Homo-oligomer: A and B are copies of this chain.
């Protein structure tokens, strides 16, 4: 855990340069616009410890699987997010001496991520070994107004000398993925061009043959005049540069602008890439850096208007939640249904792939409330487009007749992951995908999604569960053997309560969804029946039978659901009794010890009680919460948010707030000592949920918004903005009051503590103190 980021409401601020923190800061100060992004590497040469990272969404490489011991069924490769060409590079020599913060005395260093307007600024003074001092101010952004554009402005001023500056501006595509399995490089050069309009480097991925052109126009301004750069002879593969020597005058700054584009063959015919890149660069250069930055600020203003959360009375909490919202919006904008939300976004390479069940379980709720409906819908359609692959994937594991198993990790629908206990057994992911369809419709009311896409997906998933359970002659119920639940600190267990519960629900919901489509659009229903070869009679009978007779482990004495068969055989030790030296378990204990302990990595039974809260009364929830919370080590970033929401529901404000804190500043404070690998993007949505569903107690039930809010003692108030069925609402929670502002022209009815309140355009103030039971 670190504590060096300054708390400010809108800005992430690092004061002073500490090379040991550099990789952490590179992650925290990352930029992106949904289409591309990068870690906060320096523009100028840096020979210290760094993880150079530039990424282009949707472009991947199938890296040959590396395992110790092959298991039948493993995928042949792991699709990796690619480290792409670095467009920022500047090499700066002052009288022949390289500017490199690893070799300088650095003072007045400050890094600021301006989240309100969406840019990164870095300022510092560097004293070179020779004693020369320069002041640098560097600003850059990835435009969300035009997601094909990124730009930087680098200002350098000599503070105690006049002399010569040798400047090289380059594009370097000769990059390597840190997580490459076999130390391979993933790109080949296709072509390059350098001309007055800019430098253009086209690379092609090996095997997958994605082409990406990186175009950059460098403009150097000295004394308000443009300085001409010369094109350098191409000295090596996948590298282009241009350079200039110029005289620096004491205290007179020069400005370097680089305006860049990354375009990929996902969006353009390869042959068109060069021309298109030139057009994009030309248009952007014409607008200029400042104008582009204004567009950026305006686009971010809209984002904030749609989804800001304002916390009064706690700057650190305010900064944290904005940081989470900011990073989520940098990672995924929902414009492109082929893209998804990688666990590290554009901030690192760890974990590879782009799509996990995190998307459905944690991110969908965020985007449902804070972005146009289309954004969440695109996330669902993404899985629809992978349905055939999911059926193939299930086929590889021995399932048939249209059964679909969505992959644990994927980029294009094919499974990437290669740990048998996860890849083959952490199958609850299938249920999360079904639940997201339900959740989307519950929130939006858009049940037409079922006939277009959703029902087919549900049928594939239901078929999988049908085949995955078996009748236990011993238990006289259906059982599901050999699974890994959300709590990955148990592997290959039998009858994981969460998975069994979710499977039964999926079977029921699929039949319900089929009924909706059949009733509302018989023609579409017939199309789906024909396409999926659905045998309504026989299959529904099976699904009903299984969903009603699935084994759900329960302990009568404790009154709790059992995470799995035999859970109570474990030695029952509580987390509070674990010595500090044993934490985190995943670094201190061998895997077998973790597995046979009762300790839980992340919400498992409780995740199920969160999904299906209406099925359990508060007392049951309290018993399970008390039992499992005391055994949960929260060594997954996805865990505390669920506990926070449930604690809030149980009126345990202190614990709700405690869990919230553990997620909210996870990366800003490098809580798990792994921020240097990249940010925990998907868990950021969980933080948002902690506030809105936890403290705000927001739910949508029967087409109605409801809130059961409470205000953490540490806060004066908090407010969040959500979109709901075409209406925008701002909900402000104060100690005893809830203040609702809406643009709705119609009269709404909003449920506050189980009482409906009329809400109309403008402000409505409801005292909720009186409503508490």
| Chain A contact residues, CB within 8 Å of chain B | 65-69, 71-73, 396-398, 418-421, 424-425, 470-475, 479, 481-482, 491-495, 565-566, 568-572, 586-596
State A482–B471 Cα separation when bound (angstroms): 24
The smallest C-beta distance from A362 to any residue of chain B, in angstroms, reads 22
Q: How far is the CA of A71 from the CA of B586 in the complex (A)?
A: 8
A420 touches B73 (CB 8 A): no
Check if B67 sits within 8 Å of A420, measured CB to CB. Answer: no
CB pair A424–B481 under 8 Å, yes or no, is no
The answer on a CB contact under 8 Å between A398 and B593 is: yes
Given contacts A66-B66, A69-B419, contact A494 B566 (CB under 8 A): yes
Q: Which of B68, B73, B481, B588 contacts A569 (CB 8 A)?
A: B481
Min Cβ gap A231→B in Å is: 41
Asked if A572 and B473 make an inter-chain contact with CB atoms under 8 angstroms apart, the answer reads yes
Q: Are A424 and B72 within 8 A (Cβ)?
A: no
Instruction: Tell me the complex Cα distance, A419–B398, Å.
Output: 24
Q: How far is the CB of A607 from chain B (nearest CB, A)?
A: 22
User: How far, in Å, is A238 (CB) from chain B's closest CB?
Assistant: 25
* 30 pairs from A and B in contact (CB 8 Å cutoff): A66-B66, A66-B67, A67-B68, A68-B68, A71-B590, A71-B591, A72-B588, A73-B590, A73-B591, A397-B590, A398-B589, A398-B590, A398-B593, A420-B592, A424-B591, A424-B592, A425-B592, A470-B569, A470-B570, A470-B571, A472-B569, A472-B570, A474-B569, A475-B569, A481-B566, A481-B570, A481-B595, A481-B596, A492-B492, A565-B565
Q: Which residues of B lie under 8 Å from residue A565 when comparing CB positions?
A: 565-566, 569
**Complex formed: what's the CA distance from A589 to B474 in Å?**
25
Copies of chain A in the complex: 2
Among B571, B586, B590, the residue within 8 A (CB) of A471 is B571
Q: Give the docked Cα–Cα distance between A596 and B421 (Å).
A: 12
Q: Chain A: interface secondary structure?
A: loop
Give the 10 A-B residue pairs with the shortest CB-CB distance, closest first. Answer: A73-B590, A424-B592, A482-B596, A474-B568, A481-B596, A71-B591, A67-B68, A472-B569, A470-B571, A397-B590
A510 to B538, CA, bound (A): 60
The chain B residue with its CB closest to the CB of A590 is: B73
Closest-CB distance, A477 to chain B (whole angstroms): 9
A588 to B396, CA, bound (A): 10
Q: How far is the CA of A571 from the CA of B470 in the complex (A)?
A: 6
Report Cα–Cα, A475/B570, bound state, in Å: 10
CB neighbours (8 Å) of A73 from chain B are: 589-593
The CB with the most chain B CB atoms within 10 A, among A397, A472, A492, A587, is that of A492
A sample of 16 more A-B contacts (CB under 8 A), given A69-B419, A73-B589, A470-B596, is A66-B66, A66-B67, A66-B68, A68-B419, A72-B587, A72-B590, A72-B594, A397-B593, A421-B492, A424-B592, A470-B570, A474-B569, A475-B569, A481-B566, A481-B595, A494-B566
**Distance, CA A495 to CA B471, complexed state (A):** 22
Q: How far is the CA of A71 from the CA of B590 in the complex (A)?
A: 7
Give the nearest-CB partner of A418 in chain B. Answer: B68
A569: chain B residues at CB < 8 Å are: 470, 472, 474-475, 479, 481, 494-495, 565
Instruction: Flag if A492 contacts B595 (CB, 8 Å).
Output: yes
Task: Give, as a whole number of angstroms, the nearest-CB distance from A406 to chain B.
Answer: 15
Q: Which residues of chain B are within 8 angstroms of A69 by Cβ–Cβ distance?
A: 418-419
Instruction: Choose among B396, B472, B595 the residue that contacts A590 (Cβ–Cβ < 8 A).
Output: B396
From residue A38, how far is it (CB to closest CB) to chain B in Å? 27
| CB of A420, distance to nearest CB on chain B (Å) | 5
Q: Which residues of B contact A424 (CB under 8 A)?
A: 590-592
Task: Quote the shortest CB–CB distance from A422 to chain B (angstroms).
Answer: 8
CB distance from A622 to the nearest CB of B (A): 22
Chain B residues near A481 (CB-CB < 8 A): 566, 569-570, 595-596
Of all chain B residues, which has the CB nearest A423?
A: B592
Tell whether A492 pairs with B494 under 8 Å between CB atoms, given A68-B67, A591-B72, A592-B73. Answer: no
Contacts of A420 in B (CB 8 A): 591-592
How far, in angstroms, from A425 to B492 measured CA to CA in the complex?
13
| Distance between Cα atoms of A71 and B422 in the complex (Å) | 13
Given that A397-B593, A470-B570 are known contacts, is A491 also in contact with B492, CB under 8 Å in the complex? Answer: yes
A413 to B73 Cα, complex, angstroms: 33
In the complex, A469→B254 CA distance in Å?
A: 72
Q: How far is the CA of A565 from the CA of B481 in the complex (A)?
A: 12
Neighbouring B residues of A472 by C-beta, 8 Å: 568-570
A396 to B590, CA, bound (A): 7
Indicate if the CB atoms of B72 and A397 lie closer than 8 Å.
no
Rounded to whole Å, the gap between the CB of A674 and the closest CB of chain B is 14
Question: Which residues in B have their C-beta under 8 angstroms from that of A571?
Answer: 470-471
Chain B's nearest CB lies how many Å from the CB of A542? Answer: 15
The interface residues of chain B lying within 8 Å CB-to-CB of A470 are: 569-571, 596
**Contacting pair B589 A72 (CB below 8 A):** yes
How distant is the Cα of A397 from the Cα of B472 in the complex, in angstroms? 35
Using CB atoms, name the residue of chain B closest to A570: B481
Residues of B within 8 A of A471 (CB): 571
- Specify the chain B residue showing the minimal Cβ separation from A73: B590
Quick one: closest B residue to A67, CB to CB?
Answer: B68
- A595-B482 contact in complex given A68-B418, A69-B419, C-beta closer than 8 Å: yes
Residues of B within 8 A of A419 (CB): 68-69
Q: How far is the CB of A535 from chain B (nearest CB, A)?
A: 22
- Residue of A71, A588, A596 ringed by the most chain B CB atoms within 10 A: A596
What residues of chain B lie closer than 8 Å to A568, measured between beta carbons? 472-474
